[in-house]
Structure 1
Amino acid sequence: MNILWDFDGTIFNTYPAYTKIVKEVLEDRVTEDEIYKLLKVSFSHALKYFNLTDEKEIYIRSRVRELKPDDLYPFPHVEDILKNANKNVIMTHKEREDVINILTFHRLEHYFVDMVAGDDGFPRKPDSASYKHLHDKHRIELAIGDRELDIIPAKQLGMKTCLFQNNTVGADFYLNDYKDFNSVIKL
């Protein structure tokens, strides 16, 4: 099976670290749970929702880039899926250098044959250009993401979709834990 993966919140559990950074800036204005829920829609959505100054937005984004690979953890059992797939590719809004550093630190880089990163010049999701690029090269059968934004382009291209830790209507499959992958995903 050839799989297209989102990165943040899908391969790596990055949102808790992002939530803490945003909470530092907002202090007691909002709970971590509220921040987390808004970040799961999208990082940009959360920052707009809180109506932050440009300076605070720049600060948050720079703090996120300063996170070390050992501050972020892959989800349990994700490596089992990666090693059993025929091909794995990534489509992320995160900068390429950051993704490579994190994957390398956690010894997961060898599982991926290709990537479109946020600094590669493609339009942002839900535009399907990056998905089409990866699909044309690798014949993707399944796209896995943690947000509706991650499956919209895949659906437009006729790929099967899976939402991870998200029950929004519209995906072909739903997973809350990667240990259940083989019992849930049937292509």
Structure 2
Amino acid sequence: MKKLILYDLDGTLVDTRRDIINGVRYALGVLNGPDLTDDEIKDCVGTGLHALIKQVFRTEDEALADRGSKLYREHYKKHMLDHTHLYAGAREFLEHFKDRKQAVITNKPNPFSLQILEALGVAQYFISVLAGDNGLPFKPDPAAIHHLMEKTGALTEEVIFVGDSPIDIQAARNARVEVVTLSHGF
């Protein structure tokens, strides 16, 4: 039996696509970045904000990435819940497994992650939310998974990771835990 269920956030439990794309478009517009399609932006999501901004601006310029990240955060902070919603069945799934330990591992900054989970009324299901700014390496590094396994005493065979991206799959494989992938996300 699985004792610990771990979830990615964006694209797994929560459809944040439109609000993320709008935040990226805002930063691109202010800094005269390239004109990208939604799919081109979507394909860059998942490795953390700084990496996302570098990818969409097609740059290694750290100062530009820092400015773009700051603009994105300013916009996203105000608009992160404009279109964001739980995927159909997510709340029921969390409720069904409320007797198990459940946690979120995301590369999204913690304040945004917590605010979204609270606003959507599902924060109470999670024993922990480990985000991109919690001091642990970003996925696909398995450190966050290992941290939660140690915290809960769960063995490898008692853990399942639910995600939607190649980064999620790789994180689970790196931790040697079972992974379930959803096709509706990023």
Q: Residues 1-187 of structure 1: matches in 2 within 5 Å?
A: 1=2, 2-26=4-28, 29-39=35-45, 43-49=49-55, 50-51=57-58, 53=64, 54-69=66-81, 71-85=83-97, 86-138=100-152, 139=154, 140-165=158-183, 176=184
Q: TM-score, normalised by structure 1?
A: 0.76
**Change over 3 Å in CA distance of 1:112–1:38 after alignment to 2:** same
> What is the rounded CA distance, in whole Å, between the counterparts of 2:110 and 2:12 in structure 1?
16
CA 1:70/1:31 → structure 2, altered by over 3 Å: closer, same or farther?
A: closer
What value does the CA root-mean-square deviation take over the aligned residues? 2.4
Change in 2 beyond 3 A, CA 1:68/1:158:
closer
Once the two structures are TM-superposed, the CA of residue 6 in structure 1 deviates from its matched residue by 0.9
Retained in 2: the 8 A contact 1:21–1:63?
Answer: yes
- Report the residue type matching 1:74 in the other structure: L
Query: Any gaps of 5 or more consecutive residues in structure 1?
Result: 166-175, 178-187
Greater relative contact order structure (CA < 8 Å, 6+ sep) = 2
The runs of 5 or more residues in structure 2 that have no matched partner are none
Quick one: which amino acid aligns to residue 22 of structure 2?
A: K
Partner of 1:180: none
- 102-111 vs 132-141, which moves further: 132-141
Q: If the length of structure 2 is used for normalisation, what is the TM-score?
A: 0.77
Determine if contact 2:18/2:83 at 8 Å carries over to the other structure: no
AA partner of residue 51 (structure 1):
R
Aligned in 2, Cα 1:26/1:74: closer, same or farther, shift over 3 Å? Answer: same
What's the CA shift for 1:9?
Answer: 1.6
Residues 104-126 of structure 1, C-alpha deviations (whole Å, 9 max, x = no match): 22111111112212222111112
Tell whether the 8 Å contact from 1:19 to 1:39 is kept in structure 2 after alignment: no
Residues 46, 165 of structure 2: 8 Å contact kept = yes
Separation in structure 2 between the aligned mates of residue 58 and residue 6 of structure 1, nearest angstrom: 23
What amino acid maps onto 1:142 in structure 2? Answer: I
Equivalent residues of 1:20, 1:32 under 8 A apart: no
